Amino acid sequence: MTAPFTARADVATASPERYAKQLAAHLGRRSEIRQEPDGIRIVLDAGDCLLRSREETLELLATAPGTEELERVQSVVGSHLERFGARNELEVVWRRG
């Protein structure tokens, strides 16, 4: 069994919890949303992304079985978050783990 591929983004925002909830509510229409002790997990067909609210930061931890699937998770989560946070100029920059 191979280890999953991972990526992380730390998005600077004064409202990390609000953006996590908004992202989960929107993507939850077509995805499974899991409330976990350390955050909100969005489960997509390609993989998943854990959203963790930190002080002044929304931490995104994406996981998928392959590089193409990971890119899909990053694209879906990142593009939606940037669109929701456009007024506040949110920028999602992923780093592979």
For the segment 72-92, the average pLDDT, to the nearest whole number, is: 96
pLDDT-based confidence at residue 97 (cuts at 50, 70, 90): confident
Q: What is the pLDDT of residue 51?
A: 98
- Tokens encoding 57: 């930061």
**What confidence tens digit (pLDDT) does each residue in 16-69 have?**
999 999 999 999 999 999 999 999 999 999 999 999 999 999 999 999 999 999
**Residues with Cβ within 8 Å of residue 50, at least 6 apart in sequence:** 36, 38, 39, 40, 41, 59, 60, 61, 63
51: which residues sit within 8 A by CB, 6+ positions away? 20, 23, 24, 39, 40, 41, 42, 58, 59, 60
Read off the pTM: 0.94
